[in-house]
Chain A
Amino acid sequence: MALSRREFVKKGSLSLSFALAGSNILLSPAEAYAKEVPFTVLNAGEVLTLESVCEILLSGATESGVAHFVDHQLGVDPNDSLLVLKYFSFPPPYTDFYRPVLAALKELSQTMFSKNIQSLNEQQGREFIEAIRDKNPPDWKAPPAPLAYLALRNDTVDVVYGTPEGFKKLGVPYMEHILPPEGWS
């Protein structure tokens, strides 16, 4: 499917190929979220945990499609991956990072507050993130918590501010000059 320049800018530079209703279409993660595109790697519980943590990290993460972005990228060849985790020398497959991290985060919320992450109030959300930001919390059974903080925070910033829509929110020009070719994912 060839896109015009206008369509590309409208879709955002994070347009990915999602399977929907039997065909592959290019959608931004935000559009994939709005259309409730089925997840292919993460299960419902993992999606909820990921969205809840990323929403504390930066409000708007869920609607920007952070879970669809991560889920999509966990399904591609790691060398083609767009996940920032690539920079942090964590060896693929990246599900070996996200799965235990999401499970550990879910457990940590219960340990700290006897609540699911999505039920934390603002103060609790802050304490929850601060508990993983600089060191592993007690009994953490996953890749290093500060790495989890950095990776999820970057994933969130990618979808909230790393797109033409994100630049627009910040009031700076995107200045793109290249179109994605057909079948580019």
Chain B
Amino acid sequence: MSAREEFWSIYREALPILLVALGGGLFAGIVLEGMVGSVERFPGLFVMIPVFLATRGNVYGALGGRISSGLHQGLIEPTFERDERLVNAVAASFINGIGISVVIGVLTWLALLILGWEVAALYELVAIMLIAGVLTSVVLIFGLLALIFAGFESGYDPDNLVGPIVTTLGDIFGMLFMLFAIGLVEVLA
């Protein structure tokens, strides 16, 4: 392939996926803009947002990568069944996704304490992360599996689907569930 053809083939292949991710990112931005006022109630909230969004990609990107190589290797079937490998992969993602959400709350609290900045109560930050983490895990894990399975059955290479699906779903649902969690903790705390 000539360099020019290579250039256009990469560009054409990646552009639609990145445009979908851009749409998800702008939607998440609208939700984020709505949260600007809540930062004064919960100082430290904005520290958690990029970390929370990045973590969604790390946990569920890894799950997606594992599932798509499992499908390629014929280790798992593209259906929701009680297969031990599939169950383990899903359970591990729940543990990782929810566990790391709690870690984010604690780390944020510690970092702001060390910096000497104003910070919300530890239990408030952890509660927001825990609620948002649990809800996002459920939607992302089952949404991701359903989309990968459907894609695999209709002949798409799951490797090309995982990254953009995770980024887009993670941005949209991550921010929506964080907004919900902030509202809930505001009422309860």
Does B bind A? no
